[in-house]
Amino acid sequence: MIVMKFGGTSVDGPERMRGVAEIVRGRLPERPVIVTSAMAGVTNQLQRLTETALSGDRAAMEDEADRLARRHRETALALAPGDAALVERLDAHLRELRVLLRGVRLLGTATPRSSDQVLGYGELLAQELLAAALRIAGAPGQVVDSREIVITDDHFGSARPQLAETRARARERVAPLVEAGTVPVLGGYLGATPEGIPTTLGRGGSDLSGSVLGLALDAAAIEIWTDVDGLMTADPRVVPAARVLEQATFREAAEMAGFGAKVLHPASIDPAIHGGLPVVVRNSLAPERPGTRIGATGSTAPAVRAVASRAPLQLVALRAPGRLREEGFLADVLRTVDRPGLQPVAVLPGPVWLELLIPADPSLAPALDALERYGEVRCTPGLALVAVVGEGLADAPAQWQRVLAAAGGIPLRRLVQGPHGASLGLLTDEERAKELVRALHRALFECAAGEDRT
Ligand code: ADP
Ligand code: ASP
Ligand code: MG
């Protein structure tokens, strides 16, 4: 069995869905389980819909909901003309969505729980369309509701999958479908609490759905199909000269994701590490290319393998002289700022000031206020952590020197070494981050002509 996860661009409209169906058809002997994201931009549209509902503007809300409905119905029509049952299933979801949105508008408030319910409709709609595309291509696609399979805690907006229960359900309800020769299609990003209340795994969370289901089903591999050729030496949108990595270790991939490489959700490698399952990142627009294979082992020579950048961050300094020596102090401080999906990126303890590098997210404002009970708090917002990633970097001082030299005149505020010495983070101002990424990439990859670092 393999799990194949397709991202938003891969399922964006009838042409792309047909392309995905062809890819899946060619892999039927490997018994695929499919995880799909919402069509590109739909989750953002659902977010806007919630905001419009909250603003009370009924006409604008209905207009936006009409646009969303039209886009999905048109895709259905182009994919499967005459499939009235498909349109009816889409319409059933769209009706429910409108009821929820009207509730939000009338109440004038959206709890994290109700927001999650709205945000999940993109995947609920996409799974119907992709399953239909598969059936037309001769692969027997069958929708399975992830909210009955992926069981999570109740951290709405960033729920964490609970592996034991998810495994039990996947084995009971997904594996038999594969045994029976069908191709299960599950919406990514979605889950539910054990009581059945819908949750989402956080933005970009379909990757995590893919890897959790891969682990739950003991898949032979997890494939993340996206719009680039694999894990690259940098984000190709920032560095056009970025190159594809043939392979990467779990640690390298996890550090890249944690340091902002959007191609993988930060938590998506954890289940793969847990089960030792290989993850392959591939391009659905160029399926003939091999992509990047992520596994337990990789290239042995320590070298910088990629540059990533995470923003916006803020440095929070807490003046608490001597208190770090008190039992439980650090744990209390960390508990105060700990929010699912927004955990500190670095903790820098000192005798007088304790510094925390944390995401700059408005939802952390109350936590920062609460920190004041421990002492004076100073925040520096507008920061980015630009990181170089590579297994064994800690033992390669020459590489550190090259990295620091490459940063040139761009001001650095702190250096942050990642776990296992597999990364070095350079803290800089957010507005200089792209410049720093490009400077590092140029010096570390583009100048070393002829040298193969992948
Ligand atoms: P999907 O919709 O398939 O989940 P995402 O937009 O979430 O796709 O992730 C793919 C994007 O990640 C790419 O288009 C690319 O711009 C970005 N990206 C950032 N860093 C990297 C990297 N190191 N390698 C590849 N892609 C990267
Ligand atoms: N559709 C969700 C999002 O846009 C999840 C995903 O695409 O991974 O964040
Ligand atoms: Mg993604």
pLDDT at residue 322 in the model: 86
What's the CATH code of the domain at 332? Answer: 3.30.2130.10
Ligand 2: lining residues by beta carbon, under 6 Å? 7-8, 37-38, 43, 122, 188-189, 203-206
- Asked whether residue 410 falls in the same domain as residue 312, the answer is yes
Q: Does residue 245 lie within any of the structural domains?
A: no
Best residue among 235, 279, 289 to mutate for probing ligand 1, ranked by most atoms within 8 Å of CB: 235
**Ligand 1 atom with least separation from CA of 233:** 23
Q: Does residue 300 lie within any of the structural domains?
A: no
For ligand 2, the distance from its centroid to the CA atom of residue 383, given in whole angstroms, is: 25
The number of beta carbons lying within 10 Å of the beta carbon of residue 271 is 23
- Asked whether residue 217 falls in the same domain as residue 341, the answer is no
Q: Tell me the C-alpha to C-alpha distance, in Å, between residue 65 and each of 14, 51, 132.
A: 20, 12, 23
What's the CATH code of the domain at 63? Answer: 3.40.1160.10
- The residue out of 201, 227, 253 marking a domain boundary is 227
Q: Does residue 107 lie within any of the structural domains?
A: yes
Q: Which residues are bridge partners to 199 per DSSP?
A: 191
Q: Does residue 242 lie within any of the structural domains?
A: no
Q: Does residue 137 lie within any of the structural domains?
A: yes
Q: Does residue 10 lie within any of the structural domains?
A: yes
- Asked whether residue 219 falls in the same domain as residue 337, the answer is no
- Asked whether residue 87 falls in the same domain as residue 190, the answer is yes
For ligand 1, the distance from its centroid to the CA atom of residue 256, given in whole angstroms, is: 11
**Ligand 2 atom with least separation from CA of 201:** 5
Which one of the ligands is nearest to 202 CA?
2
pLDDT along the chain (454 residues), means of 10: 98 97 98 98 97 94 97 97 96 98 94 96 98 97 98 96 98 98 98 98 97 98 98 98 96 94 95 95 98 88 91 96 90 92 90 95 92 95 96 85 91 88 94 97 80 44
- Asked whether residue 213 falls in the same domain as residue 320, the answer is no
- The residue out of 200, 227, 254 marking a domain boundary is 227
Nearest to 32 by CA among 167, 162, 225: 225
- The residue out of 227, 259, 284 marking a domain boundary is 227
d(CA 454, CA 445): 10
For ligand 1, the distance from its centroid to the CA atom of residue 230, given in whole angstroms, is: 9
- Asked whether residue 222 falls in the same domain as residue 126, the answer is yes
- Asked whether residue 330 falls in the same domain as residue 215, the answer is no
* Ligand 1 pocket check for 37: Cβ under 6 Å: yes
Residues with CB under 5 A from ligand 3 (ion): 7, 204
For ligand 1, the distance from its centroid to the CA atom of residue 136, given in whole angstroms, is: 29
**Ligand 2 atom with least separation from CA of 44:** 4
Q: Does residue 389 lie within any of the structural domains?
A: yes
Q: How far is CA 327 from the centre of its chain?
A: 36
- Asked whether residue 75 falls in the same domain as residue 201, the answer is yes
313-341 in b/e form (b: 16+ CB < 10 A) is: bbbbbbebeebeeeeeebeebeebbebeb
pTM of the model: 0.95
For ligand 2, the distance from its centroid to the CA atom of residue 171, given in whole angstroms, is: 25
| Protein residue with its CA nearest to atom 11 in ligand 1 | 263
Each residue's pLDDT tens digit, 16-57: 999 999 999 999 999 999 999 999 999 999 999 999 999 999
* Ligand 1 pocket check for 361: Cβ under 6 Å: no
Best residue among 5, 43, 115 to mutate for probing ligand 2, ranked by most atoms within 8 Å of CB: 43
Q: Does residue 266 lie within any of the structural domains?
A: no
For ligand 2, the distance from its centroid to the CA atom of residue 435, given in whole angstroms, is: 28
Full domain range(s) for residue 370: 306-450
- Asked whether residue 220 falls in the same domain as residue 323, the answer is no
pLDDT at residue 453 in the model: 45
- Cβ neighbourhood burial of 197 (10 Å; 0-12, 13-18, 19+): middle
Q: How far is CA 220 from the centre of its chain?
A: 21
User: What's the domain count of the chain?
Assistant: 2
| Protein residue with its CA nearest to atom 9 in ligand 2 | 203
Q: Tell me the C-alpha to C-alpha distance, in Å, between residue 110 and each of 56, 97, 101, 158, 191.
A: 12, 14, 9, 16, 19
Nearest to 129 by CA among 42, 255, 1: 42
**Ligand 1 atom with least separation from CA of 306:** 23
- Asked whether residue 107 falls in the same domain as residue 211, the answer is yes
- Asked whether residue 188 falls in the same domain as residue 326, the answer is no
* Ligand 1 pocket check for 266: Cβ under 6 Å: no
- Asked whether residue 148 falls in the same domain as residue 18, the answer is yes
